[in-house]
Amino acid sequence: MLQDIEPYLACPLCAQALTRHDRSLRCPAGHSFDLAKQGYVSLLAGDAHTGTGDTAEMVAARADFLAAGHYRPIADALAQAAAAAASAAEVPGGGPDGLVADLGAGTGHYLAQVLDALPDRVGAALDISKYALRRAAKAHPRIGAVVCDAWRPLPLRDASAELMLNVFAPRNGPEIRRVLRPGGTLLLVSPTARHLRELVDALGLLSVDEEKQRRIDEKLGPYLTPAGRREVEFTLRLGPQDVRTVVGMGPSAWHTDPERLGAALAALPDPVEVTASVTVAAYRR
């Protein structure tokens, strides 16, 4: 719930602490942000734009695909890495209110799995899509959902999170470092070049650069230290509707022509075997 993460929130306009006043959050400078009836709060600056956020259709597709358990091995690996990071933390987590911040949380699916593995932690689901955060606010009783822009200063206090998650989402190295406590860990899930390769070839979807992991390390290098990684790879057996769903929930949804996609789908076997391949990497402040 939002009240669980309020001690960690900061005003996006002046970075001062936020406190609840009836149905809004306010800072000492008088900036006020209304709480949405769906359970989230928008801490976007007034000139921010949400056009890059996932649409309602993309969010619904992702929710359906994840609920079916297709990416369960990824969620399990992330939860295991989170438990290991928490037990090996150089700095105590701060007791029952330690914060896990998920940057680009989407529907909150992965954050919920991590919180199940860390029963004394609370989670901040950060995303620019209000459609996603309507679901994230209900994904787990210890999640607070916040609309924000990953490329701007995050509405969290300095050194407020002991653990940050980033799953198939934008990465803002300077802000991640600022928000992490000393000794805190970022767990980053990114696709390898083999991820969904059968669909990429057959349907003309966006592909993953072979050098993606190297580029991620270079961009995060000035701010965080690599602390281990593992690859998670498994085979999916997807029917036609599952394939439509996985296409509709990712970046290819912005670039795929429906008629062309329909013709390509008709040519696929039913079910089609598809490779899921990601890297789960840890970085420490």
pLDDT in tens, 91-114: 444 444 589 999 999 999 999 999
Report in angstroms the alpha-carbon separations of 244 from 247, 256, 266. Answer: 5, 11, 11
pLDDT at residue 92, rounded to an integer: 47
Q: Which residue in 234, 216, 230 sits closest to 279, CA to CA?
A: 230
The total of other beta-carbon atoms located within 10 Å of residue 145's CB is: 32
Query: What pLDDT sits at residue 88?
Result: 77
CATH fold of 54-284:
Rossmann fold (3.40.50)
Assess whether pLDDT exceeds 60 at residue 193: yes
Task: List residues bridging with 272 in a β-sheet.
Answer: 238
pLDDT bucket at 257, cuts 50 / 70 / 90: low
pLDDT at 237: 95
Given this model, what pLDDT does residue 154 score? 96
In this prediction, residue 253 carries a pLDDT of 56
Is it the case that residue 49 has pLDDT exceeding 50? yes
Mean pLDDT of 234-247: 91
For the segment 128-134, the average pLDDT, to the nearest whole number, is 94
Higher pLDDT among residues 180 and 248, named by residue:
180
CB-based contact 181:285 (threshold 8 Å): yes
Average pLDDT over residues 45-70: 82
**What pLDDT shows up at residue 91?**
46
